[in-house]
Amino acid sequence: QSALTQPASVSGSPGQSITISCTGTSSDVGTYNVVSWYQQHPGKAPKLMIYEVSKRPSGVSNRFSGSKSGNTASLTISGLQAEDEADYYCCSYVGSSTSVVFGGGTKLTVL
Amino acid sequence: QVQLQESGPGLVKPSETLSLTCTVSGGSITSYYWSWIRQPPGKGLEWIGYVYYSGSTNYNPSLKSRVTISVDTSKNQFSLKLSSVTAADTAVYYCARGPTRYYFDYWGQGTLVTVSS
């Protein structure tokens, strides 16, 4: 199974909004509304930010939102803050292999 | 508050079997999916597989021939065994809880396992 495709890096200034894309296929992102997103700071475990495409766990800021169109899911962070600087990973179910696959990760830099 | 803690050897020799245990505290192991996920140094996340509390399992096709994940509900623990390891298996190994098969809401802190002679 192939990893989902994410941009290697994105950047933005404090207060701005950024969007990270996650492209899969009709076997995963395009068919199943179960995309999740994780934030990982250096040396730390990943943290769940979005699940089932657009749902936010309790305690996650409403500055984080998720969406999906076709085979591409997106994570949008509005009102960028310095603490948002981290790596972000998307994840989806793969129906053809009944398994789970992650994206390659995107490094977010807050300028 | 649910907490997960990985434990096991930090160094494994090539061709041997990597064994890790994840202990769950602050909540029951029942009614959830329990996964192992790894991250080679400087690289991205790779899902290894899960065990449901009932004992049913599902593995990453690329690792399936070498992986066994099991659960011990009496101890609130689940375990990973990865056989015939090579240097490519060097990674931080995380255990994680899944309310469904598809996402992970609680993670352990991770444990670095190095494969080297």
Instruction: Quote the minimal CA–CA distance from B109 to chain A in Å.
Output: 5
A13 to chain B, minimum CA–CA distance in Å?
25
Instruction: Give whole-number Cα distances, A91 to A54, B3, B31, B44, in Å.
Output: 13, 22, 22, 11
> Which of A45, A97, A105 has the CB atom closest to B44's CB atom?
A105
The reported pLDDT for the residue numbered B40 is: 97
Distances (CA, A) of B37 to A25, A62, A84, B85, B104: 22, 27, 23, 16, 10
Q: Report residue A108: phi and psi, to 5°.
A: -95, 125
Q: What's the mean pLDDT in A51-79?
A: 97
- The answer to whether the Cβ–Cβ distance between B104 and A103 falls below 8 Å is no
pLDDT digits over A16-27, tens only?
A: 999 999 999 988
CB contact (8 A) between residue B102 and residue A3? no
Mean pLDDT, to the nearest integer, of B61-90?
97
HSE-up of A94 (CA within 13 Å, CB side)?
22
Is the pLDDT reported for residue B29 higher than 90? Answer: yes
pLDDT at residue B37 greater than cutoff 90: yes
**A36: which chain B residues are within 8 Å (Cβ-Cβ)?**
102-104
**Quick one: pLDDT at residue A98?**
85
User: What is the pLDDT, as a whole number, of residue B80?
Assistant: 98
| 8 Å CB contact of B62 and A105 | no
Q: Name the average pLDDT for chain A.
A: 96
User: Of the candidates B26, B25, B20, B22, which has an alpha carbon nearest to the alpha carbon of residue B8?
Assistant: B20
- A20 interaction partners in chain B (CB closer than 8 Å): none
pLDDT at residue A65, as a whole number: 98
Q: How far is Cα A110 from Cα B39, in angstroms, rounded to an integer?
A: 24
pLDDT at residue number A95: 87
| DSSP-derived 3-state class of residue A105 | coil
Decide if B104 touches A, using CB distance below 8 A: yes
pLDDT confidence of residue B32 = 95
